[in-house]
A = this chain, B = another copy of it.
Amino acid sequence: MDGPWRGMQEGDDDKRRPHGHAGEIAYAAIRDRLLRDEWPAGTRLLEADLAALTGVSRTPVRDALRRLSNEGFLDYVANAGCRVKAFTAKDVEAAFDLRVELESYAARRAASRAGTAQIAALSALCDRMEEIAADPEGEPRSRDQLTPLNQSFHAVIVEAADNPRLAPFLANVTSAPVVLRTYRSYTAEEIARSMGHHRELIQALQAGDADWAGAVMRSHIHAGYRAALRDTGLFGAVAENTQD
**Interface of A toward B, CB cutoff 8 Å:** 19-20, 59, 63, 66-67, 70, 72, 78-79, 90-91, 93-95, 97-98, 101-102, 105, 109, 163-166, 169, 172-173
Contacts and interface: CB of A to CB of B under 8 A. Distances in A.
A95 to B, nearest CB: 6
Contact of A78 (B20, B70, B72, B173): B20
Contacts of A20: 78-79
Given A97-B105, A101-B105, A19 B79 contact: yes
Nearest to A176: B165
Given A19-B79, A20-B78, A165 B101 contact: no
Contacts of A91: 164-165
19 contacts: A19-B79, A20-B78, A20-B79, A59-B59, A66-B66, A67-B70, A90-B164, A93-B163, A94-B164, A94-B166, A97-B105, A97-B109, A98-B163, A98-B166, A101-B102, A101-B105, A102-B102, A165-B173, A169-B173
Contacts of A163: 93-94, 97-98
Contacts of A105: 97-98, 101
A165 B97 CA distance: 10
| Copies of this chain, whole number | 2
Contacts of A63: 63, 66
A79 to B, nearest CB: 5
A90 B163 CA distance: 8
Contacts of A102: 98, 101-102
Given A94-B165, A101-B102, 10 more contacts: A19-B79, A70-B70, A72-B165, A90-B164, A94-B164, A95-B165, A98-B165, A98-B166, A98-B169, A169-B169
A101 B105 CA distance: 7
Contacts of A72: 165
Contacts of A169: 98, 169, 172-173
A53 to B, nearest CB: 22
A47 to B, nearest CB: 14
Nearest to A100: B105
A182 to B, nearest CB: 17
Contacts of A165: 72, 91, 94-95, 98, 173
Contacts of A98: 102, 105, 163, 165-166, 169
